[in-house]
């Protein structure tokens, strides 16, 4: 019965979304500074960024809950900049669920259709199709107050599905759930995206959610887009130190370094470095980024950095070794499986040039 | 009847002499005394209203009938002017009118103050609230003059307008708080669902602020139902009297004697709607309706 469900969208029919110079100020405070972004139909896009960077604001502008100060928003080729939220073809899932507490689960899900004056039979059919997808059928007569957090969030998602939107908007939908439930719901949302094929935009703080759910991650900082790209692209090929540091856990190591003939010099030790297409504009001082899992013990005779372990973190699958390198530059490396290093151990570590990322003093990537 | 259950039987059958702890007994005793204190006036009034006519002129102590029960007092009350039902109708009209008008205006104003941004909002709100501090008796004369100018003196409609005005500052305050307590996201979810304007107020906000509406309505009804001074000043035509004014008129019986029986009968009648309202509506302002909405 799901196969013929009216709410399953063929990916080809899913609407894309375009933001052109979208700007938002609250009074004299500029929150978003000219956001340009194109989202393809059926894409799962995740907005990430530090708290207060404007993720929610951008989502609310797309939803139409806030008015843009300047710029235009098109959904499925239609300019929706001045349309009401209900006429933009969007549905939104709020962090706080925002269910109507006085209505049953079925009432919550069908409220939009009821307000639109659709026939009762159609409303019931749509509610049941959505409840079926989300395993909510046994709960349809309950009130939100009688549901667990996870169930409430499923109802909120169900309410969004029932609207049959072109674009789903999620604002940190899982952050009120406990860790285990969050993983469960994350998988459920991924499954939902696969099944419905709609465009989805998802705001989160959680790296894992961003990395696992997204086709495309948009990294925001202080109201500007820092980088847009697939999770692997942002991880492997960050445009700047901010993105490099934001994606990945533990963070990418950043070492102050100097470009010298034949490589980079860190605290007096020289490693081979990747070639640059052009010399950095502001002198030889640069910043060297290496992810913890790319650092390895050096073979004898290989150029390396002296590393002293201070703290080890055993996480089951991996062990993170925290310590100091080349004097007192903090560094994290991934421990080898099977070895049991102790604090105080000294290692000679190195990395392949292909795994090194160079940044200038301002944090912009050098390629 | 398994063996394992047997040992508990004699234990349960044993009389629990020391079962009620002292603090529970004290609690019940205190509660009973307080309840009696609150119920006593009601009981005394009802008993006094049942004193026969021969006792009616007698001093009000003791307040209960000493020579048998009688409903004569109610008869005398009914015989006054246009009859009890007519005056009860007047009072009901004024109280309901005040309630409806107060609810309508305070809900709209509370919604505005809670959800919209407009110039001088804070100042306007403080001004509205500050009128609570003015004793209305002190502005009764100007109010009377204004109503007279509007041709509303000696009318029940004028009285409704007056009561609603006096009731509004507090009611607007209450309703703003009720709206403030509704999470913004619920409203936003409704906007996404295509609900705007008045339908938002009725279908989404309405049920959530119902406890506030009930409180405001209850206060408006009771205050209008019981108000005496303004009604006495404003109403000159005997057929327009509300119940409190009627009580005053009934009190002064023939030859300067006070007809206590009729007064007590009137008070008893006046209590009925108040008690009914409280009993039927109390659960509304106790129950929190927003449970489960967010978080
Ligand atoms: N209604 C408002 N009036 C004034 N400033 C606002 C308003 N809404 C948001 N802001 C400001 O805009 C900035 C961005 O807020 P926004 O809620 O979009 O951040 P966010 O990225 O979603 O943060 P978080 O991750 O904490 O949810 C913040 O500095 C916030 O103070
Ligand atoms: Mg946010």
3-state SS, one letter per residue, for chain A: CHHHCCCCCCHHHCCCEEEEEEEEEECCEEEEEEEEEEECCCCEEEEECCCCCCHHHHHHHHHCCCCCCEEEEEECCEECCCCCHHHCCEEEECCCCCCCCCCCHHHHHHHHHHHCCCCHHHHHHHHHHHHHHHCCHHHCCCCHHHCCHHHHHHHHHHHHHHCCCCEEEEECCCCCCCHHHHHHHHHHHHHHHHHHCCEEEEECCCHHHHHHHCCEEEEEECCEEEEEECHHHHHHCCCEHHHHHHCCCCCCEEEEEEEECCEEEECCEEECCCCCCCCCCCCCEEEEEECHHHCEECCCCCCCEEEEEEEEEECCCCEEEEEEECCCEEEEEECCCCCCCCCCCEEEEECCHHHEEEECCCCEEEC
> How far is the centre of ligand 1, averaged over its atoms, from the C-alpha of B150 (Å)?
51
Residues A259 and A234 in one domain: no
Integer-rounded Cα Rg, in Å, for chain B is 26
Predicted confidence (pLDDT) per residue in B213-269, tens digit: 988 999 999 999 999 999 988 888 888 999 999 888 887 655 666 777 888 888 898
Q: What is the pLDDT of residue B295?
A: 41
Which range of residues forms the domain containing residue A329? Answer: 250-359
Name every residue whose Cβ is closer than 8 Å to that of residue B259 and which is 6 or more positions away in sequence: B56, B57, B73, B76, B250, B251, B253
A-to-B residue pairs, Cβ atoms closer than 8 angstroms: 90
- Domain harbouring A175, CATH code: 3.40.50.300
> How far is the centre of ligand 1, averaged over its atoms, from the C-alpha of A234 (Å)?
25
Answer whether residue A313 is part of any domain: yes
- Domain boundary (A244, A273, A295) is at A244
Nearest-CA residue for atom 4 of ligand 1: A26
Residues A146 and A61 in one domain: yes
Residues of A in contact with B289 (CB under 8 A): 101-102
CB of B192 less than 8 A from some CB of A: yes
Q: For residue B185, what is the nearest residue in chain A, using CA coordinates?
A: A98
Residues A191 and A294 in one domain: no
Q: For residue B205, what is the nearest residue in chain A, using CA coordinates?
A: A100
Does the bond joining B126 to the residue before it have cis omega, within 30 degrees of 0?
no
Nearest-CA residue for atom 19 of ligand 1: A52
Residue B7 has pLDDT above 60, yes or no: no
CB of B199 less than 8 A from some CB of A: yes
Answer whether residue A9 is part of any domain: yes
Name every residue whose Cβ is closer than 8 Å to that of residue A8 and which is 6 or more positions away in sequence: A2, A195, A196, A197
Residue A336 has pLDDT above 50, yes or no: yes
Residues of B in contact with A145 (CB under 8 A): 291-292
CB of B208 less than 8 A from some CB of A: yes
Give the number of other CB atoms < 10 A from CB of residue B241.
25
Residues of A in contact with B195 (CB under 8 A): 86, 111, 115
Predicted confidence (pLDDT) per residue in A153-176, tens digit: 999 999 999 988 999 999 999 988
Nearest-CA residue for atom 9 of ligand 1: A57
Residues of B in contact with A99 (CB under 8 A): 186, 189, 292-294
Q: Tokens 């290093």 map to which residue?
A: A341
Residues A91 and A200 in one domain: yes
Q: What is the pLDDT of residue B291?
A: 40
Please report the atom of ligand 1 found closest to the CA of residue A49: 21
Residues A84 and A216 in one domain: yes
Domains in chain B, CATH or no CATH each: 24-70 (no CATH), 81-289 (1.10.3720.10)
Residues A189 and A304 in one domain: no
Q: Which of residues 115-154 of A touch B (CB under 8 A)?
A: 115-116, 143-147, 149, 152
- Domain boundary (A201, A229, A244) is at A244
Name every residue whose Cβ is closer than 8 Å to that of residue B250 and which is 6 or more positions away in sequence: B76, B77, B80, B259, B262, B263, B266
Answer whether residue A149 is part of any domain: yes
Predicted confidence (pLDDT) per residue in B50-59, tens digit: 888 777 666 6
What span, in angstroms and rounded, lies between the C-alpha atoms of B189 and B181?
A: 16
Answer whether residue A366 is part of any domain: no
Answer whether residue A364 is part of any domain: no
Residue A51's closest CA among A211, A204, A242, A193? A204
> How far is the centre of ligand 2, averaged over its atoms, from the C-alpha of A292 (Å)?
30
Name every residue whose Cβ is closer than 8 Å to that of residue A87 and which is 6 or more positions away in sequence: A80, B194
Residues A90 and A231 in one domain: yes
Verify whether the Cβ–Cβ distance A115 to B185 is below 8 Å. no
CB of B202 less than 8 A from some CB of A: no
Residues A269 and A216 in one domain: no
Q: For residue B199, what is the nearest residue in chain A, using CA coordinates?
A: A115
Q: Can you tell me the ipTM of this complex?
A: 0.84
Work out the minimum CA distance from B156 to partner chain A, whole angstroms: 38
Predicted confidence (pLDDT) per residue in A8-58, tens digit: 555 446 789 999 999 999 989 999 999 999 999 999 999 999 999 999 999
Verify whether the Cβ–Cβ distance B188 to A86 is below 8 Å. no
Predicted confidence (pLDDT) per residue in B57-109, tens digit: 666 677 777 777 888 888 888 888 888 889 999 999 999 999 999 999 999 99
Residues A44 and A116 in one domain: yes
> How far is the centre of ligand 1, averaged over its atoms, from the C-alpha of A49 (Å)?
12
Confidence of residue A274 (pLDDT cuts 50, 70, 90): confident
Residues A319 and A222 in one domain: no
Count: domains in chain A: 2
Predicted confidence (pLDDT) per residue in A83-123, tens digit: 999 999 999 999 888 999 999 999 999 999 999 899 999 99
Answer whether residue A365 is part of any domain: no
- Domain harbouring A279, CATH code: 2.40.50.140
Residues A165 and A226 in one domain: yes
Answer whether residue A367 is part of any domain: no
Residue B149 has pLDDT above 70, yes or no: yes
- Domain boundary (A209, A244, A279) is at A244
**Residues of chain B above pLDDT 70, percent:** 86
Answer whether residue A234 is part of any domain: yes
Residues A239 and A256 in one domain: no
CB of B293 less than 8 A from some CB of A: yes
Query: What are the beta bridge partners of residue A288?
Result: A255, A358
CB of A246 less than 8 A from some CB of B: no
> How far is the centre of ligand 2, averaged over its atoms, from the C-alpha of A171 (Å)?
7
């Amino acid at each position: 019965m799901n196969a013929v469900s009216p709410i399953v969208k063929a990916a080809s029919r899913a609407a894309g979304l375009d933001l052109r110079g979208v700007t938002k100020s609250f009074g004299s405070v500029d929150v978003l500074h000219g956001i340009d972004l194109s989202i393809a139909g059926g894409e799962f896009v995740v907005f990430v960024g530090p708290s207060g960077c404007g993720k929610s604001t951008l989502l609310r502008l797309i939803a139409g809950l806030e008015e843009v100060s300047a710029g235009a928003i098109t959904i499925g080729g239609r300019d929706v900049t001045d349309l009401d939220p209900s006429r933009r073809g969007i549905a939104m899932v709020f962090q706080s669920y925002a269910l109507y507490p006085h209505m049953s689960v079925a009432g919550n899900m069908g409220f939009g259709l009821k307000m639109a004056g659709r026939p009762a039979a159609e409303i019931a059919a749509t509610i049941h199709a959505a409840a079926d997808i989300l395993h909510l059928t046994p709960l349809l007569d309950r009130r939100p107050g009688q549901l667990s957090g996870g169930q409430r969030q499923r109802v909120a998602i169900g309410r969004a599905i029932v609207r049959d939107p072109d674009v789903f908007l999620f604002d940190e939908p899982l952050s009120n759930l406990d860790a285990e439930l969050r993983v469960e719901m994350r998988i459920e949302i991924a499954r939902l995206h696969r099944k419905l094929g709609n465009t989805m935009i998802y705001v989160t703080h959680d790296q894992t959610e961003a990395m696992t759910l997204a086709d495309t991650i948009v990294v925001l900082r202080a109201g500007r887009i820092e980088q847009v790209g697939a999770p692997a692209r942002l991880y492997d090929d960050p445009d700047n130190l901010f993105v490099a540091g934001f994606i990945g856990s533990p963070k990418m190591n950043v070492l102050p370094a100097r470009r010298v003939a034949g490589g980079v010099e860190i605290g007096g030790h020289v490693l081979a470095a990747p070639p640059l297409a052009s010399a950095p504009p502001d002198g030889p001082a640069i910043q060297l980024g290496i992810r913890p899992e790319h650092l390895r013990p050096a073979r004898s005779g290989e150029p390396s950095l002296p590393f002293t372990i201070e703290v080890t973190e055993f996480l089951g699958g991996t062990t993170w070794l925290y310590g100091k390198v080349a004097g007192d530059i903090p560094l994290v490396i991934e421990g080898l499986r099977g070895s049991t290093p102790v604090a105080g151990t000294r290692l000679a570590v190195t990395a392949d040039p292909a795994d090194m990322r160079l940044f200038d003093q301002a944090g912009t990537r050098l390629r | 009847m398994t063996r394992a259950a047997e040992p508990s039987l004699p234990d349960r059958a044993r009389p629990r002499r020391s079962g009620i702890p002292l603090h529970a007994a004290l609690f019940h005793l205190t509660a009973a005394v307080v309840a009696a204190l609150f119920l006593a006036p009601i009981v005394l009034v009802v008993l006094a209203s049942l004193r026969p006519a021969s006792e009616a002129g007698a001093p009000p102590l003791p307040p209960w009938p000493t020579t048998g029960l009688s409903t004569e007092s109610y008869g005398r009350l009914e015989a006054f002017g246009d009859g009890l039902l007519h005056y009860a109708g007047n009072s009901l009209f004024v109280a309901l009118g005040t309630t409806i008008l107060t609810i309508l205006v305070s809900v709209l104003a509370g919604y505005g103050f809670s959800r919209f941004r407009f110039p001088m909002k804070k100042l306007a709100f403080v001004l509205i609230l500050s009128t609570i501090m003015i004793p209305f008796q002190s502005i009764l004369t100007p109010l009377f003059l204004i109503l007279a100018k509007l041709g509303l003196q000696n009318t029940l409609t004028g009285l409704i307008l007056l009561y609603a005005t006096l009731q509004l500052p507090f009611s607007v305050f209450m309703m703003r708080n009720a709206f403030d307590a509704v999470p913004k996201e619920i409203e936003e979810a409704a906007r996404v669902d295509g609900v705007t304007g008045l339908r938002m107020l009725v279908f989404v906000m309405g049920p959530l602020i119902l406890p506030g509406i009930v409180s405001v309505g209850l206060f408006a009804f009771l205050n209008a139902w019981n108000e005496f001074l303004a009604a006495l000043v404003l109403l000159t035509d005997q057929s327009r009297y509300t119940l409190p004014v009627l009580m005053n008129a009934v009190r002064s019986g023939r030859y300067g004697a006070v007809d206590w029986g009729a007064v007590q009968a009137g008070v008893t009648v006046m209590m009925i709607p108040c008690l009914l309202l409280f009993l039927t509506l109390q659960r509304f302002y106790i129950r929190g309706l927003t449970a489960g909405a967010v978080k």
